[in-house]
Amino acid sequence: MTRLRMAVLGAGLIGRRHIDTILACPGEAELVGVADPVAQADSFPQVKAPFFKTTEALLDRVKPEAVVIATPNRLHAPQGIDCARRGIHFIVEKPVTESLESAADLLRAVRESGVKSLTGHHRRYLPAIRHARQILNEGRIGRLVGVSVIWATRKPDRYFDASWRKEPGGGPILINLIHEIDLLRHLAGEMDSITGQVSNGVRGFAVEDTSGAVIRFVGGALGTILCTDTGLSPWTIEQGTAENPAFAFTAENSYRFIGTEGSLELPNLKLWSARDPQHRAWDTPLASTPIKVADSDPYVEQLKHFRRVIQEGEAPLISTEDGARTLAATLALTQAGTTQRPVELAAAFRALG
Ligand SMILES: NC(=O)c1ccc[n+]([C@@H]2O[C@H](COP(=O)([O-])OP(=O)(O)OC[C@H]3O[C@@H](n4cnc5c(N)ncnc54)[C@H](O)[C@@H]3O)[C@@H](O)[C@H]2O)c1
C-alpha cells in the first residue's frame, strides 16, 4: 500500500474538513496541495503543502494522483472533467453537479478516462447506516412496506447573509434533502417515481423553505420525507448522530423503516419486532432492541475507501453515476412541486447516459 498524493480544490467549510481528514490519515494519503482563489495559507497553519490561487496551477505544478473537489456546485463538472482528462481520480462533493446535463457530461468524461471517482455522500460510511443496510438486506423486518423521514431544523438568520441561499438551487432540497434521498436510495433501493409539494410560505424567499415528498420505490415500497429549514425540531440525522458539530445533539431518530415483520429506527438503531413471532398483528406486544455500533468518522472511512477503490479495485460505495441518480431524483421533487405532477424517474436516469 502506498499513500495517495492528494490535493483539495476549494478550502471553504467542507474543504477544510477534507484537508483535516487527509492530515489525520497519514497512512492513507499525503496532502500535496490546496487550490482556492481566496483562502490564505496562514489560516491553515496545520498545512505544510503549497496553496495555489487556481486549480489549473495546482494540477499543472503538483500533478496529484487524486483530488477532492469541494468547490461551489457549478464548478464540480468542469473541474471533474479536467481531472478525468488528466487521469486524476477524484471525490466530488455533493451534489455531484448542479444539473442533469452537466452530470451527464461529467459521467461521460469519467467513463472515457477510466479514473475512479466517488460522490461525497459521506453518510453512507456511517457505521449505523452500514449496519442498517445489512439488517434490511437480511430481511429482518420482513418485506419493506414504507419509510418515513423527517429532516426539520431552523437555520439561523445569519445563514442567509449569503444571498445565493435565498435563490432557486440554494435551498434545503438541493443542500439537505439530497442526503435523505441518497440514503433512501442506498437503504430502500432504487426509486421509481417521486411527487410532492414545495413551499416558501414561512421565509418568503424565491427558494423553498419546506417540502413534502412521496416516493415509490422499484420494489413497491412507499416513502415520505418532510424537509424544512425553518422549523425548530429535534429530528434531523445530524442532531441524532452528532456528526456535525454545528447541530445541537438530540439523540433522536428521524428515519422509520416499516416492514411486514417489524420496524427499524435510525440513526440510533432500534429494531422493533413481535414478542411472539407466531403472532404478528396490531394486538401483539412489541419488543424493541437498541443496537449499538462503534462510532467512526465517515470522512475518514470515505478516504480509506477511496484509496482501496484506486489501489485495490474495491467497488465504489457511491460512484459518480450513483451520485448523479441521487441528483436526478432530488431535482425531480422540485419539478413535481412546480408542475403538481408525479415524476417518473426512468427518463431522468436514461438522460444520464
Ligand atoms: N457532504 C456534505 O455534507 C457537505 C457539506 C457542506 C458542503 N458540501 C458541498 O461542498 C461544496 C462546497 O461547499 P462549502 O459549504 O464548503 O462552500 P464554501 O463556500 O464554504 O467553500 C467553497 C470554496 O471554494 C472556493 N473556490 C471558488 N472557486 C474556486 C475555484 N475555481 N477553485 C478552487 N476553489 C474555489 C471558494 O473560495 C471557497 O473557499 C458544495 O458543493 C457543497 O454542496 C457538502
pLDDT digits (tens, 9 = 90+) for 289-315: 999 999 899 999 999 999 999 999 999
As given in the structure block, the three cell numbers for residue 160 are 442567509
∠ CA 245-331-114, rounded to 5°? 85
pLDDT at 353: 85
122 lines ligand 1 (CB under 6 A): yes
The arithmetic mean of pLDDT across residues 73-83, rounded, is 97
Choice from 13, 96, 106, 119 to test ligand 1 binding pocket (greatest atom count within 8 A of CB):
13
Rounded CA-CA distance 57/79 in Å is 13
Beta 66-69 vs 4-9: how paired, if at all? Answer: parallel
Q: pLDDT tens-digit profile of 143-183?
A: 999 999 999 999 999 999 989 899 988 999 999 999 999 99
**What is the Å distance from ligand 1's center to 10 Cα?**
6
Q: Please give the distance, rounded to the nearest whole angstrom, from the Cα atom of residue 70 to the centre of ligand 1.
A: 5
Domains of the chain from N-terminus onward: 4-115 (3.40.50.720), 125-295+329-339 (3.30.360.10)
Burial 196-235 (b: 16+ CB within 10 A, else e): bebeeeebebebbbbbbbbbbbeeebebebbbbbbeebbb
**CA atoms of 29 and 19, how far apart (whole Å):** 11
Cell of 164: 445565493
76 alpha carbon to ligand 1 midpoint, in Å? 10
Q: Tell me the pLDDT band of 197, cut-offs 50, 70 and 90.
A: very high
pLDDT (tens digit, 9 = 90+) per residue, 36-49?
999 999 999 999 99
**Closest to 238 (Cα-Cα) out of 166, 291, 329, 172:** 172
- Work out the angle between the directed axes of helices 127-137 and 178-188 (0-180°, nearest 10): 40
Instruction: Answer yes or no: is pLDDT of 245 > 90.
Output: no
222-228 and 144-152 strand pairing? parallel
Q: Which of 149, 189, 191, 179 is nearest to 329 (CA)?
A: 191
Ligand 1 pocket mutation pick from 47, 52, 93, 306 by most atoms within 8 angstroms of CB: 93
Q: What is the mean pLDDT of residues 17-36?
A: 98
**Per-residue pLDDT reduced to its tens digit, 88-110:** 999 999 999 999 999 999 999 99
Closest-CA residue, ligand 1 atom 40, reads 72
pTM: 0.96
- Give 189's pLDDT tier (boundaries 50, 70, 90): very high
Q: 8 CB less than 6 Å from ligand 1?
A: no
Position 346 scores a pLDDT of 95
Under DSSP, is residue 61 helix (H, G, I), strand (E, B) or coil? Answer: helix
Give the length of the chain: 353
CA distance 32 to 39: 16
Give phi and psi for 188, each to the nearest 5. -105, -10
Atom of ligand 1 nearest to the CA of 71: 24
Q: What percent of the chain has pLDDT over 90?
A: 95
- Mean local confidence (pLDDT), 202-225: 97
* Distance in angstroms (rounded) separating the CA atoms of residues 333 and 348: 12
Please, are residues 87 and 115 in contact by the beta-carbon 8 Å criterion? yes
pLDDT of residue 169: 87
**Phi and psi at residue 347, to the nearest 5°:** -65, -40
Cα–Cα distance between 341 and 127 in angstroms, integer? 37
Residue 58 Cβ < 6 Å to ligand 1: no
| pLDDT (0 to 100) of residue 231 | 98
- CA dist 265 and 299 (Å) reads 23
Q: What distances in angstroms separate CA 235 from CA 63, 112, 137, 173, 254, one per listed residue?
A: 43, 42, 25, 16, 5
Angle at 225 between CA 219 and CA 229, to 5 degrees: 155
Percent with pLDDT over 70 in the chain? 100
Average pLDDT taken over every residue of the chain = 96
Q: Is the CB of 16 under 6 A from ligand 1?
A: no
pLDDT reported for residue 244: 87
Ligand 1 nearest-atom number relative to CA 121: 1
Measured CA to CA, the distance from residue 110 to residue 187 in angstroms comes to: 25
pLDDT at 243: 84
Cell digits of residue 40: 490564505
10 touches ligand 1 (CB under 6 Å): yes
Q: Give the SS3 label for residue 203.
A: coil
| Beta-bridge partner residues of 119 | 92
pLDDT of residue 319: 97
Is the C-beta atom of 11 inside 6 A of ligand 1? yes
Q: Is the pLDDT of residue 344 over 90?
A: yes
- C-alpha grid cell for residue 186? 442506498
Minimum-distance ligand 1 atom for the alpha carbon of 175: 43
Amino acid letter for position 31? L
Shortest-distance atom of ligand 1 to CA 9: 33
Task: Give me ligand 1 centre to Cα 352, in Å.
Answer: 24
Does 173 sit in the ligand 1 pocket, CB within 6 Å?
Answer: no
pLDDT at 9: 98
